Structure 1
């Protein structure tokens, strides 16, 4: 998966995403589980939209992402707002840092971009190395309900005049996976439209499977949250895990 020029369109396409809901879950979880430290790792941070918000809420944020293009956008945004945030290019499966964090977040269904069971399990093991003993791991994933009932074999469109897209979803190679085929048309200063094609693959697993892998990695699952509030339901589209380092 490569983002390339898509990174520069990402914020425009995500402008209606309720980022403050993610911030609220982080704040509420830290308060509920008595996390006093403020060092936070935003893993798979993308263009840094959540990194900036969390920094403004008093966290000392470090952002990590696989995409150099996404990080370029994130660094520019932080500089524009006068925020001192360190950004590093790394693969979450091979996470290698110099310090430990009070909170590690993998937000906006970023974990769903891992394609194999071993990649997810290895990511959990790597995260545990860099999470303080009393720290929290907070992440969210698309549910299997969303993969199978909302995405599969559907087509979505968007048109605001300057940016248009056609988004087709197909079954992926693995159970619980979906291929996102996106075609963007972006208006240039000349009035002509540039076409950009992107293909992304996401995969999810049963909630019980994630929980078992977390336990195997040495975590304790404190709670699961469905669609930003309450316990997950059969039709929850996004599920948050709030996880403790220690048993």
Structure 2
């Protein structure tokens, strides 16, 4: 519901990039700029990155000459994104907004310096992105539809929405049950379970921060992702005044198949004319 403030990344955010998660954003940026946009061109270079996390994709786009705003509901992630942006030239610096992508214009929004509502105008973005299976965290069709509506409202006429989602095949069969990540000063242990009835995968993440001399501090987070049939996603996208232009096996330009792990959705805002 609007106004939710619970932050599942509160403890994990400082270790998010260091645990290797940053690699996905770098890979997706290359895919977006090198494969998707040449095949699905847009007129301008103003982008909105929904669920931007620590801001890697937004920063890469800004470095490539885009005007970018990143949005995330996690105060901890937004704080890191804003800190990283300080090293970027002011003329290229992306802005980061703390807000829920389901109710972008209804939320109380905070940017680097005060209110950012003037920068977040409906119908002003040529590109809207939502990556790293962020949409799988939407556990109801109503919430997923709200995200698509946000993207459609943000886009200019003929603007492009690009997003990815994990498939049921991946969540049920390919996502490892147990994963252990070790970095200097940080240990992460995660265990996942897929429920066929709800099509949801629940991951329990336990982290240990510290060192052998002073000891370690433990934290725990729960992450739940839901898989949706591609037909249902396409229907919800279409209901949001967006037209699906392509459904790719992510990081390729090939069609999806039974064993596709991640789908890249490319949809265009329908002209108001």
| TM-score, length-scaled by structure 2 | 0.84
Q: Is 1:158 the equivalent of 2:181?
A: yes
Structure 1 counterpart of 2:93: 84
Q: CA RMSD in A?
A: 2.0
- Mapped contact 2:245–2:266 kept (Cα < 8 A): yes
Pick one of 192, 198, 214 that aligns with 2:221.
198
2:83 and 2:211 map into 1 onto residues whose CA distance is 22
Pick one of 55, 58, 67 that aligns with 2:65.
58
Structure 2 counterpart of 1:68: 75
2:245 and 2:219 map into 1 onto residues whose CA distance is 42
2:21 and 2:234 map into 1 onto residues whose CA distance is 32
Structure 2 counterpart of 1:6: 12
Map Cα deviations across residues 151-189 of structure 1 (whole Å, 9 max, x no partner): 37x111122342212111123596221111011112249
Structure 1 counterpart of 2:43: 36
Offset at 1:232? 1.5
1:53 and 1:189 map into 2 onto residues whose CA distance is 36
Pick one of 156, 159, 164 that aligns with 1:140.
164
- Mapped contact 1:188–1:194 kept (Cα < 8 A): no
| TM-score, length-scaled by structure 1 | 0.92
Offset at 1:224? 1.2
Structure 1 counterpart of 2:247: 224
Pick one of 114, 125, 134 that aligns with 2:138.
114
Uncovered stretches (5+) of structure 2, i.e. residues with no partner: 1-6, 106-119
Map Cα deviations across residues 62-113 of structure 1 (whole Å, 9 max, x no partner): 0000011100000000102335211111111102132420000001111111
1:156 and 1:172 map into 2 onto residues whose CA distance is 19
Q: Is 1:184 the equivalent of 2:190?
A: no
1:104 and 1:33 map into 2 onto residues whose CA distance is 13
Uncovered stretches (5+) of structure 1, i.e. residues with no partner: none
